[in-house]
Amino acid sequence: MQRILITGAASGLGKGLAETWAKRLGKQAKICIADVNDERGQEVVSQLQGQVADVLYVHCDITSESDISELANILQTRWGGVDTVVNNAGVATGGSLLGESIEQWQWVMDINVLGMVRVSQRFLPMFRKQGSGRFINIASQAGITPVPCMGSYNAAKAAVVGLSETWYLEFKPQNIDVHVVCPSFFKTNLDESMRTSEPTARMMMDRMFDKATMTTEQVAAYILDAVEKQQFLIVTHPEGRLAYRLKKFLSRPRYLATMAKKTGGMVKRMLAEHQERKGE
Ligand SMILES: NC(=O)c1ccc[n+]([C@@H]2O[C@H](COP(=O)([O-])OP(=O)(O)OC[C@H]3O[C@@H](n4cnc5c(N)ncnc54)[C@H](O)[C@@H]3O)[C@@H](O)[C@H]2O)c1
């Protein structure tokens, strides 16, 4: 039996992972959908009911330690523990350095980084007591090969990659696994949460969603296969793996020159937007 908790599973990737696990494990899975979107969360539960051994929705805001504590207590009582925690809940931000307020930085860090820290702090003792457990942390391609005008999001996801590597080393001797996932863009409801003061940043995200080369289902299936193979760093998209390889194997000046050439147009558009606004 796999007892699985997925944060942010009312939508997008979290929901996709729940569906894929349900298909693959059937009655060998118990799944908890934790989210702040109660309506969507309940919909996922209705959809999975009957397919798995148990499925439940728990309202849990990962910025709230009391919500997380309540969630852990519910799962301890109902299932006697948890085998897999997917730290998936997240939001999006965009903008240039001058376009992102400190409030926007604090908001994304509080959810995308500290949210994961809070959840992991609460579930690690449970894993320790059990003598086993697994964290799957959802970062992003943005955390390993950043592009301009996404400073706070890139920094948050780079922090998730760094944290995951730290925890891999820290938890390994305790028989607790850590995986970190870096997807490029795929179409979800992430744009609903996006905060930005710059229309170009939003346009960029819409365009990336339109150009997405993988569906949510494909991303979820890739992740589960890679976890099965015990991969630590999971880069889901082929173009993401290529970019990561370029960064690893090209000299740093050459890699940066290539990226600057590729992304220069976007930066110029952003600058023009600033000029226009100043002229208003
Ligand atoms: N969609 C992409 O292109 C993409 C690419 C790389 C990484 N990611 C990452 O994948 C993860 C899932 O995003 P998605 O694309 O499925 O977006 P989504 O918006 O469809 O799903 C995110 C879910 O997180 C929930 N959530 C937001 N704040 C929360 C909080 N404080 N507490 C609990 N739940 C909260 C939302 O209600 C939502 O259901 C995020 O960490 C995101 O950064 C997404």
Residue 280 has pLDDT above 60, yes or no: no
Q: What is the mean pLDDT of residues 138-161?
A: 97
Band of residue 71 on the pLDDT scale cut at 50, 70, 90:
very high
Q: In angstroms, what is the span from residue 249 Cα to ligand 1's centroid? A: 31
Q: What is the mean pLDDT of residues 13-39?
A: 98
Q: Verify whether ligand 1 is closer than 6 Å to residue 64 (CB atom).
A: no
Tell me the percentage of the chain whose pLDDT exceeds 70: 99
Q: Verify whether ligand 1 is closer than 6 Å to residue 190 (CB atom).
A: yes
**Cβ(126)–Cβ(83) below 8 Å:** no
DSSP secondary structure, the chain, as one string? -EEEEEETTTSHHHHHHHHHHHHHHGGGEEEEEEES-HHHHHHHHHHHTTTSSEEEEEE--TT-HHHHHHHHHHHHHHHSS-SEEEE-----B-B-GGGS-HHHHHHHIIIIIIHHHHHHHHHHHHHHHHT-EEEEEE--GGGTS--SSBHHHHHHHHHHHHHHHHHHHHHGGGTEEEEEEE-----SSHHHH-B-S-HHHHHHHHHHHHT-SS-HHHHHHHHHHHHHTT-SEEE-SHHHHHHHHHHHHS-HHHHHHHHHHHHHHHHHHHHHHHHHHHH-
Considering only CA atoms, which residue is closest to atom 3 of ligand 1?
185
Q: The tokens 């925890």 sit on which residue?
A: 167
Characterize the bridge pairing of strands 84-87 and 176-182: unpaired
State the chain's mean pLDDT as an integer: 95
* Predicted pLDDT at 116: 98
Q: What is the mean pLDDT of residues 236-251?
A: 97
Residue 139 has pLDDT above 80, yes or no: yes
Residue 53 has pLDDT above 80, yes or no: yes
Of 264, 218, 252, 261, which Cα lies nearest the Cα of 237? 218
Q: What is the mean pLDDT of residues 70-82?
A: 98
* Predicted pLDDT at 205: 85
Lowest mean pLDDT, pick from 123-127, 161-165, 188-192, 263-267 = 263-267
Band of residue 73 on the pLDDT scale cut at 50, 70, 90:
very high
Q: Verify whether ligand 1 is closer than 6 Å to residue 67 (CB atom).
A: no
* Predicted pLDDT at 279: 67
Residue 50 has pLDDT above 60, yes or no: yes
Q: Verify whether ligand 1 is closer than 6 Å to residue 7 (CB atom).
A: yes
**Cβ(181)–Cβ(243) below 8 Å:** no
Band of residue 278 on the pLDDT scale cut at 50, 70, 90:
low
Q: What is the mean pLDDT of residues 177-201?
A: 94
What pLDDT digit, counting tens, does each position of 196-228 carry?
998 888 888 888 889 999 999 999 999 999 999
d(CA 270, CA 275): 9
Q: Which residue among 63, 190, 239 has the greatest number of ligand 1 atoms within 8 angstroms of its CB, and so is best to mutate?
A: 190
pLDDT: which is higher, 35 or 274: 35
d(CA 172, CA 107): 31
All structural domains of the chain, each given as residue ranges with its CATH number in brackets, are 2-249 (3.40.50.720)
So which residues are the catalytic ones? 153
Residue 277 has pLDDT above 80, yes or no: no
